[in-house]
Every structure is written in C-alpha cells, then in structure tokens.
Structure 1
Amino acid sequence: MGNPVGSFIWYELMTSDPDAAAAFYGDVVGWRIGANAFADAGSGEPMDYRMIERLDGGGSACGFSGGVFKLTGEMVAQGAKPAWLGYIYVADVDAEVDAIVAEGGQVHVPATSMEGVGRFALVTDPFGAAFYLMTPQPPANDPDATSDVFTVDKPQTVRWNELVTPDDDAAVAFYTRHFGWTQEGAMPMGPLGDYRFLQSEGVPIGALMKKADFMPVPGWTYYIGVDDIDRALAAVKDGGGRPQGDPQQIPTGEYTVHAFDPQGAYFGLVGPRR
C-alpha cells in the first residue's frame, strides 16, 4: 500500500440508523452514502454496511472515503453506542494486537480477515481509547494504492485526529512507539494543560491532551472538513444534531466546532468562514 505505516486509512461511523445518517451527513458535509453493500449477501439478516463517497471521487484504495455500519441488536445489548472510529495502518495486525494487550490494552473485535478488504481488529489503548488496526488488501492491479480519507486541507475528508486521554505522557509514548508517530510542538491550554501536536512522516495528523474532569471518557475525535463552517453548523441544527458551543477560530485562521449527530455519535467539523 502507498500509505506509510501509522496512517489513518479509513473512518467508520457506527450508528443505529444508517438512512438518517446518510441524510444528515449528506447535508452537513456533502457526502453521498450509498445503499447497503451487503444487502444481497446470503440468507438471513445481512450486515448493513454502506460506503461514504466524496463528491471529488477520491478516497481509499477501493474508491470510497469511509463506511457506515449499522449497530446490531446484540452489539447494543453489549453496550455499543453510535460513534466514529478510525483505522490505523499497520504491517501486522496480529503482532500489534499482541503488543497492545501486553501493555494493558484490550481487544473488542479479534483479528479478522475479509476477502478484498484485509485484516483488522478493534482495540482500546491502555487508557481506554478505541481504534481499529488494519492491514488492507489493495486491489491486485494497484498494489501501491493510496488512501486519502485523511488530508490536512480538503473538505469531505477527515482533517484532524484528536485524542483525549487520562495520561498524556504515557499516551505519547504509546502511540509514537507503536505507529512511528512523532510529537513535536504544543499549545498551552491554561488549566487544561498542553495540547500536544502529533505527526506521521512529518505530516501534522492531530493532537492529544489530558482528559479534564468534565470530559466523559477518553477517546478519539475526528474533525471532518467542510466548505463553510457556518453553513455546516446550520445544517447540523436543521438536521437534528446537537452542536456543542459556537465555532472557535484556530491558529490556521479556520474554525472548528463539535457536535453530536441525531443518533448520538460525536464528531468535529473544521473549515473556513465564508
């Protein structure tokens, strides 16, 4: 695969209502979310998994920009809730699972292979934040295919990955050790401590900070690029989402805002003010 190890190569929305999510994110971000890709797969109740498409036609090696997965009744009964999850590219899923478990992490979906997709596992780091590990299977005719579901500047991609963790020093050590990231630079946040920037192969991919008492749980937040932060925020409100405050300007001159979608998945938006 053309991406360096440690790249975010896929993002996935777990939701209770894929149809509602398609309408909501279509209005807010501009994505098109298709029909269930597994609707005709075998007998019984099929898995409901839908692909996210960008208007520019870009995305992962298979031509999409992420997925939308419908939570099953069994998953909900076990405590699963709507959420966004990121996939990090690793050379060997099984070896990384073993190493993370040895350090106190947990496995929530064991290493699994899917034809035409690759091998993946859902884990939490030793501090409670969930993410996927993945070794993708690129197309046979394009072994160096590259995912661009993450960019630093394009709308309709994830543009920033932010971790809130109870131990920021230990989290820096964990992620730099496992994924080859670096941690250079920080922005003071007053009583909240430092907002510490993360890089992969020199590219700024996000940041981490220590979890404050008012923050409910450790975890990753993914910031989706939009063309106009005010237009997108109005669409969040009109679509039944719950914004968390007003847009805040960041050092680049753009603006960010957090929100819950109508089913309860938490996400961020980033973009210019037109």
Structure 2
Amino acid sequence: MLQTASETGSETHGRFIWCELMTSDTQAAGRFYASVVGWSLNAMPMGEGEVYHLFQIGEGDGCPGIGGMMTLPAELAGHVPPNWTGYVAVDDVDRTAKDYKANGGSVQREPEDIPGVGRFAVVADPHGAVLCIMTPSPMDDMPAPPPEGSPGTVGWHELYAGDLEEAFGFYSRIFGWTKDSDFDMGEMGAYRLFAEHGKQAGGMMKRPEEIPMPCWVYYFNVESVQAAIGRVRAGGGQVLNGPMEVPGGSWIAQCTDPQGAFFCLASMQK
C-alpha cells in the first residue's frame, strides 16, 4: 500500500528550495535579472566548458543563493522554450519518482546524483506540469537565508492546473500539501491557497485559456512592482499583465524576459 507524504515525510519534504532558469543566452539573461530583480551572479564552472550561474542576494561567496541558471541543453532547443523550473525537497528522490508514476504522473529525467549538491529528478504531474525534486546533500556552511519577503527572494509558487481538484489531490499525496483556503475568482473558478507544513506556500488555479499547457510559475519579490516593470521594458522584456493588486494587498506583474521565459514579480507596494 502506497503511503502518503503526510504519513512519511520529514519537516522538509515538500518544501520549495530552489528555482532554475534554462535559457538560450545566459549572459543576456544574467544582465536582465540583475537589473530587474537585483540579483548578483556567481559563475561556477561545471567542466567541459559548461558554467552554472548562481543567482544570489548580495555580493560575494557568502551571500545566500535563491536559484541558478544554465544554458538550455542542445537536445531541448527548438522543443522546449527558455523557462523557470522549481525544485522541491523530498526525503527520497527515488521513492518520490516512483510515487509520481504510481499516481499518474511521469518521470522526465530519472534520478541521478549531482556531486556535492544532492540527488534529483525531473518529474511531471498527470497533466504535464513539470518540477524538479531533490534530496539535498548535507551542507554545514550554507549562508543564512534572507528574511521572508525580502527583495530578491522567491515569494510565491503558482500552478496553472489542468484540473484544480485532481492536481491538488495529486500534490497532497506526493508532498503532503494541505488546503489553506479558496478564493472565488468568478468565471475563472477557485484560486486555492495551499500550505506546506502549515505555512502558505503558493496557489493553484485552473489553467487560463491563453496558457498553452499546465505549468508552474514563480514570483520574485521586489521593492516596487511599478519600478521593476519599467526595468523589464528597458531591458527588452515584456509585461503581459500588471501591475495588479491582489487579495492580501500585494501587487503583481506577469512578464517574459528577452529570451521568452515567463516569470512574475510581487511587492507589498505598487
């Protein structure tokens, strides 16, 4: 009998821990996000001429990282556009990958080790929304995370679901997420706030018609969305929607970077 995550998971199982950008031009994308969000970049050679770029808050090696960036692999170019993907911590990547399959999801990349970092896999829910799952390696020298909501942090995780109830049931079984509350959006249906270990972590809604397929999207905190969207346009990105005030008093905007990756901005003031 398959056990649920809520029965077996630790205090970190089901927690978003990282965001990663795969892009066609890392130099241009790095300059863009440094301007728009305020991140600094730290290049980490990976061998064979490949470089992984860390997005950090502040300058120097001791600054906290919130995500990374790499060149879109050649085998995906032309098939997968530049995109952001979130990483969710799990206690056992191999077991969670099997749980994905057992519950109607799929494994896009089988579990494998990243030396010194952890073991990860690329997975998709039953409707095709992709995430990465990871069991991180123990690290004693990690810098302290910045205060929640600080500029540059990842503030929200949002699923455009193929079917809201089916998707919520799936993620509840896999990660142990629970329902926080629903917000009625009228003709668009319910917007469901979900919690990870009792703490709000994001929202889910039925995929809008203009979104081509179910997917996860990520909100980056800035001091002012209004000011940030000016930087988006100046840097060659596009503002698709916003600034818009949402329940709770936050302001958001939905954008694409110059290479076409979709992302969102959030702030407590316009």
Q: Same fold (TM over 0.5)?
A: yes
- 2:45 aligns with 38
Aligned residues: 261
Deviation at 1:95, TM superposition (A): 0.6
Mapping of residues 1-274 of structure 1, within 5 Å: 4-35=12-43, 37-38=44-45, 41=47, 45-55=48-58, 63-77=64-78, 79-139=79-139, 141=140, 148=145, 152-273=148-269
The 4+ residue runs of structure 1 with deviation greater than 3 A are 56-59, 145-149
Higher deviation after alignment, 46-55 or 84-93? 46-55
Secondary structure in 2 aligned to 1:175?
A: helix
Q: CA deviation at 1:99?
A: 1.2
Q: Distance in 2 between matches of 1:89 and 1:227?
A: 28
Other structure's SS at 1:27 match: helix
Deviation at 1:58, TM superposition (A): 10
Bigger mean CA deviation after superposition, 2-11 or 118-127: 2-11
Identify the residue that residue 7 of structure 2 maps to in structure 1. Answer: none
- Partner Cα distance (1:26, 1:240) in 2: 13
Q: Give the letter aligned to residue 27 of structure 2.
A: D
Query: Which deviates more, 218-227 or 107-116?
Result: 107-116
Identity %: 39
CA distance in 2, matches of 1:186, 1:84: 26
1:208 Cα deviation from its structure 2 partner = 0.2
Partner of 2:6: none
Question: Residue 164 of structure 2 contacts residue 205 of structure 2 at CA under 8 Å; is this kept in 1?
Answer: yes
Residue deviations 1:18-37, cap 9 Å, x none? 111111001100001223x1
Q: CA deviation at 1:57?
A: 7.6
TM-score normalized with structure 2 length: 0.90
Q: Structure 1 CA distance, aligned partners of 2:144 and 2:206?
A: 30
Return the offset for 1:259.
0.3
CA contact (8 A) 1:116 1:137 kept: yes
Pairwise CA RMSD of aligned residues?
2.2
CA distance 1:262–1:219, change in 2 (3 Å): same
Q: Select between 96-105 and 13-22 the one with higher mean Cα deviation.
A: 96-105
- Kindly provide the amino acid, as one letter, of the partner of residue 8 in structure 1: F
